[in-house]
């Protein structure tokens, strides 16, 4: 916590606005939209809810196709299933680890021949870095297919000087407890389409009609953020730039200390943008060392240090075993390789130099023993 949150929480309690309505929500939406440079924003209960309502705005329904990054958390794709649609998974490219324009184009060519184009494309910005949105948008605009930009992990990052999450028809952010700023649980949908955002507000509050009594003409959802949690978000947003700088500093220390070890290759920062370095991620190249990613994770765990593999690609998940997948190239799947060799290190904004040194020393010991 930043220390600013208590002021906004106290205001919510003092004015007795606890439920999903109040000044904190209104101001949080304004402050996020100002920070990222969009016309508007809607505060919701989660990033997942934001993706769900973005798909609903695009009239995605039963039998429709939605292209989606494969190397991501399941929350990026679950809302496709909520709408009864069919996800088609797209591989990563090796530089940014994000959605491959090459694989995306292959998927479009395939389904164009099948006579059925997707209703939307969900592009995920992984571990704090933007995908190559210009190339992706060129492809999607050619086929007149809208983009939902899942920037759950990349608030504070930029692409060509513009905020991550603001390139698609709709952008989403997450304020889950593990994100760079948090409301403990929450999300935001941003867009230039203010009329669409008003529809989202309506749907997110159980689609209650403007009547004295409770009347409902549409299916609604209980997706609005509470006024108390929005207050936490406002306090967090005041330190977003400090958080990004802290995460980037954590990465720099790891990079300086570990990049000289044979086989360790950190997730690179693309020339087109600035990553928030939400998580510091690396791969261990099996052609350069006998050390395996599992060995490093086991060694960290033995020291009570939490490390994790990179996301297990969605096309490898049992839930999606019947869905189509388009790899980056005929030579192989980039996301499969990243899953096999990738590790996410402790990356919190409040990590001390001593704590980072514990992680570094543990990893160096594994490499020196092999």
pTM for this model (two decimals): 0.95
pLDDT of 211: 87
d(CA 182, CA 167): 23
- Span 79-97, mean pLDDT? 97
Residue 77 has pLDDT above 90, yes or no: yes
Burial class (CB in 10 A: 0-12, 13-18, 19+), 88: buried
- 359-to-243, 279, 304, 353 alpha-carbon distances in Å: 20, 14, 10, 10
CA count, 13 A, side-chain hemisphere, 291: 26
Locate 110 and state its tokens.
Answer: 């395939």
**To which residue do tokens 């039998």 refer?**
63
d(CA 123, CA 162): 16
Those residues with Cβ within 8 angstroms of residue 42's Cβ, 6 or more apart along the chain or in another chain: 29, 50, 188, 189, 190, 197, 200, 201, 204
- Name which of 234, 227, 223 is nearest 189 in CA terms: 223
In order of their start, the domains of the chain are 5-239 (3.40.640.10), 241-369 (3.90.1150.10)
Determine if residue 305 is left, alpha or beta; phi over 0 gives left, psi from -120 to 50 gives alpha, anything else beta: beta
Burial class (CB in 10 A: 0-12, 13-18, 19+), 337: middle
- Span 110-117, mean pLDDT? 96
- Residue 216, classed as helix, strand or coil, is strand
Q: Kindly indicate the confidence band of residue 2, based on its pLDDT and cuts at 50, 70 and 90.
A: confident
Locate 182 and state its tokens.
Answer: 């948090």
pLDDT digits (tens, 9 = 90+) for 175-187: 999 999 999 999 9
Q: Kindly indicate the confidence band of residue 232, based on its pLDDT and cuts at 50, 70 and 90.
A: very high
- Span 297-321, mean pLDDT? 97
């Amino acid at each position: 916590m930043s220390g600013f949150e208590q002021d906004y929480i106290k205001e919510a309690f003092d004015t007795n606005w606890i439920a999903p309505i109040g000044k904190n929500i209104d101001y949080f939406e304004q402050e996020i939209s100002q920070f990222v440079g969009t016309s508007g924003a809607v505060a919701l209960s989660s990033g997942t809810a934001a993706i769900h309502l973005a798909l609903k705005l695009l009239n995605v329904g039963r039998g429709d196709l939605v292209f989606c990054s494969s190397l991501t958390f399941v929350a990026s794709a679950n809302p496709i299933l909520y709408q009864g649609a069919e996800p088609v998974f797209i591989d990563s490219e090796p530089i940014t680890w994000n959605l491959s324009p090459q694989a995306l184009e292959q998927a479009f060519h395939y389904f164009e021949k099948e006579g059925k184009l997707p209703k939307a494309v969900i592009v995920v910005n992984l571990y704090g870095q933007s995908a190559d949105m210009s190339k992706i948008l060129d492809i999607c605009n050619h086929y007149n297919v809208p983009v939902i930009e899942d920037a759950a992990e990349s608030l504070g990052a930029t692409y060509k000087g513009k905020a991550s999450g603001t390139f698609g028809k709709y952008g989403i952010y997450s304020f889950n407890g593990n994100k760079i700023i948090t409301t403990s649980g929450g999300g935001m949908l941003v867009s230039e389409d203010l009329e669409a955002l008003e529809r989202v507000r309506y749907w997110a509050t159980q689609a209650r009609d403007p009547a004295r009594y409770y009347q409902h003409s549409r299916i609604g959802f209980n997706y609005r953020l509470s006024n108390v949690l929005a207050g936490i978000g406002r306090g967090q947003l005041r330190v977003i730039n400090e958080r990004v700088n802290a995460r980037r500093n954590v990465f720099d220390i790891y990079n300086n200390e570990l990049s000289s070890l044979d086989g360790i290759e950190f997730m690179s920062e693309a020339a087109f943008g600035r990553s928030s370095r939400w998580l510091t991620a690396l791969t261990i190249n099996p052609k350069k060392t006998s050390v395996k990613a599992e060995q490093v994770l086991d060694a960290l765990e033995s020291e009570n240090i939490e490390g994790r593999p990179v996301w297990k690609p969605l096309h490898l998940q049992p839930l999606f075993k019947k869905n189509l997948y388009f790899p980056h190239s005929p030579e192989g799947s980039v996301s499969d390789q990243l899953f096999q060799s990738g590790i996410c290190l402790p990356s919190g904004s409040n990590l001390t130099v001593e704590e980072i040194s514990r992680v570094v020393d543990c990893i160096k010991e594994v490499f020196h023993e092999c």
